[in-house]
Amino acid sequence: MANKKLIVSDIDGTLLRSDKTISEKTRHKIFDLIEQGHLFAIATGRMHNAGRIVTMDLDYDGFLISCNGAVVKHLKTGEVIQAIEIPKALVKEVVSICHKYDAYFHLYDSDMIYSEKNMNLAHKYAEGMKKLPNAYHFKVAFHSDLMPLVDDVTVYKIGLWSEKPEIFETIMSEIKKIEGLETCKSLETSFDVMAKGVTKATGIEAIRAHYDIPLEDVLAFGDNENDMDMIQYAGVGVAMSNATAELKAVANYIAKSNDEDGLRLALEDLIG
């Protein structure tokens, strides 16, 4: 067999097609590579239990990188090889800024979402729970004021959302001035906050070191700004053809789009 590879894929716009499904051919390709001894992991901005929903369709034996790299946890055994929380004082600073602008935000633990407003992602997940098997349920908790809760919960990621670009830019610029935080846009209307140094790349590094895999044998696939660090970090960074121009500019390889089996075709080309 060729050298053991570590294959890491983003979810939305990469592994999933636009209709939020994984193609049969892609699924078979991933399982074939796992059978050959290669390693596969998903890297997502979602928290661990929300990322696990994807594994209903792709029940692989391996790690899930969640909260943009803050948490790395094995899907089958529950083994945690990385968990980097945001210091509570910094969480409070971000919450304070969100309150100042009355902006929507949510706090991520590995298995719980906390929100002050029943809207956007928190509402979507709360409603979505009703359609999922019990094994994939997680809690969405609504509180009128999350500030007092910060001392009692672990926060791995803070997600912000706004449809007002000018307010959003102001909030982002204020948060970026806070020392000790890592920030990135995940969509035009959403913005993620983690502890300093936390990216999907640090999540991959935790797995790579765990299995002692050379960096040149790491392949990472993505489509958006929060994939930038892992695409630049990997031995082979792959951007989908539907990726942002910025991501394509730093990638080693451009795959076909997520709706054209781009992930599978690239794996066949790069690994065989």
Structural domain boundaries in the chain: 6-83+198-270, 88-195
Q: Quick one: the chain helix, strand, coil %, rounded to 5?
A: 45, 25, 35
> Residue 42: phi, psi to the nearest 5?
-105, 140
* Inter-helix orientation angle 165-176/88-100, to 10°: 150
pLDDT by residue for the chain (272 residues), tens digit each? 568 999 999 999 999 999 999 999 999 999 999 999 999 999 998 888 888 888 888 989 999 999 999 999 999 999 999 999 999 999 999 999 999 999 999 999 978 899 998 877 777 777 777 777 777 777 888 999 999 999 999 999 999 988 888 888 899 999 999 999 999 887 777 889 999 999 999 999 999 999 999 999 999 999 998 899 999 999 999 999 999 999 999 999 999 999 999 999 999 999 98
**Contacts within 8 Å (CB) and 24+ apart, 49-56:** 49/110, 49/111, 49/112, 49/136, 49/138, 50/113, 50/125, 50/138, 51/11, 52/136, 53/132, 53/136, 54/11, 54/15, 54/16, 54/22, 56/132, 56/133, 56/136
Which sign does the torsion angle of CA 119, 91, 108, 45 carry? positive
d(CA 69, CA 204): 8
- Quick one: fold of 88-195? 3.30.1240
Name the CATH superfamily, with its identifier, for domain 6-83+198-270.
HAD superfamily/HAD-like (3.40.50.1000)
166 sits in the region (left: phi over 0; alpha: psi -120 to 50; else beta) called: alpha
Q: Per-residue DSSP letters for 164-207?
A: -HHHHHHHHHHHHTSTTEEEEEEETTEEEEEETT-SHHHHHHHH
Q: Could you tell me the pTM of the whole model?
A: 0.91
d(CA 141, CA 118): 9
d(CA 51, CA 60): 13
